[in-house]
Structure 1
C-alpha cells in the first residue's frame, strides 16, 4: 500500500468543566462510517505545527488563538488512515489549550470540512471511557489523564 505522508497539528481544547471538545464526522468515501476526533488537520506549506493548530482551531471551531499561546506540543504520534479513497501516514502534534467556555462555530469550514464534519460535543473523561463510539486519538482518555 502506498501512503501519502502528511504533517498535522491538533488541539486538545478543554473547558472549565474539564471536558474536551470533539468533532464528529466521517469519510465521504465510506458512507455511514463516523467517528469523533479533536480539532486540527494537515499543515500548509511552510506552516509550523503551532500555526497550523491555531488556523485549524479557528476554521473548525471559530476560536482564534495566537499560535504562541498554544505553547509546546504535549503529545506526538504517527497514525495511518484512509480518507476519500487515499491512504495517509500522518505525523501529528497535539497542543493543549484551555478555555472557560466556548460556543463552537462551523462558519469557517472549507468545502471538505462541510462534507465531513457533522457535529461537535464536549466530552468528560467518564463519557469517553464509557463510550463504544470510535474516538481519535484512540488513547485520548489516558492522554488527558497524563496532562
Structure 2
C-alpha cells in the first residue's frame, strides 16, 4: 500500500561564528544507524508557533543554545526536501534562519533537550566552514554548503 508523504512546515537555524563557521549536528536516520551525516538544527513548527519561534525552540532543544525568536530576524531562504526517516516519507517546506553566535558564546553544547528518538539519532555537534564540510563529504543534502554560505553572508550583512 502506498502512503502519501507527511508534509511539514519546518524552521531551520544556522548559527554562524565570527570565523565563518556554522554549527551543525551529526546524526542518522534511525532506520539506517550506520549512515551518519551532518545537518542543520531545526524541525517542524508546532501549532500556533511562528517559524522564528520554532527555530529558536529547536536550537534550544537540540543544542542547549538559547536565543530569542526576535534575535533570528528575517529568514534568508526557503527550500523543499523529500526524504525518508525512520521508515516514513516526508516533504519538508523549510525556512532558513541564521544567527550570529560565537563558538565561545554558545558554550558547551547540550543534548539534554532531545526527545527519545532524537537522542538515538543525534550524536554530536561541531562548527564547520562550507569548505571543510565539502571535504568531509557527509552533508545530509548537497545544498547544505550553499545554504551555509548564504547564512554566513546573511549574518555579515546584518
TM over 0.5: yes
Q: CA RMSD in A?
A: 1.4
Deviation at 1:95, TM superposition (A): 0.2
Deviation at 1:132, TM superposition (A): 1.9
Q: What TM-score, normalized to structure 1?
A: 0.92
Matched, 1:18 2:20: yes
Q: Which residue of 2 aligns with 1:47?
A: 49
Say how many residue pairs are matched.
Answer: 146
Q: Are 2:12 and 2:42, in contact at CA under 8 Å, matched by a contact in 1?
A: yes
Pick from 51, 55, 66: which aligns with 1:64? Answer: 66
Measure the CA separation in 2 of the matches of 1:115 and 1:31: 9
Q: Which residue of 2 aligns with 1:117?
A: 122
Deviation at 1:85, TM superposition (A): 0.7
Residues 65-87 of structure 1: CA distance to partner in whole angstroms, max 9, x if unpaired?
Answer: 11011011111001001011100
Q: Which residue of 1 aligns with 2:136?
A: 131
Matched, 1:145 2:149: yes
Unaligned runs of 5+ in 2: 154-158
Deviation at 1:128, TM superposition (A): 1.7
SS at match of 2:62: helix
SS at match of 1:46: coil
**After alignment, is 121-130 or 75-84 more displaced?**
121-130
Pick from 83, 86, 89: which aligns with 2:85? Answer: 83
Q: Which residue of 2 aligns with 1:36?
A: 38
Measure the CA separation in 1 of the matches of 2:78 and 2:11: 9
**After alignment, is 72-81 or 119-128 more displaced?**
119-128
Normalized per residue, which structure has more helix?
2
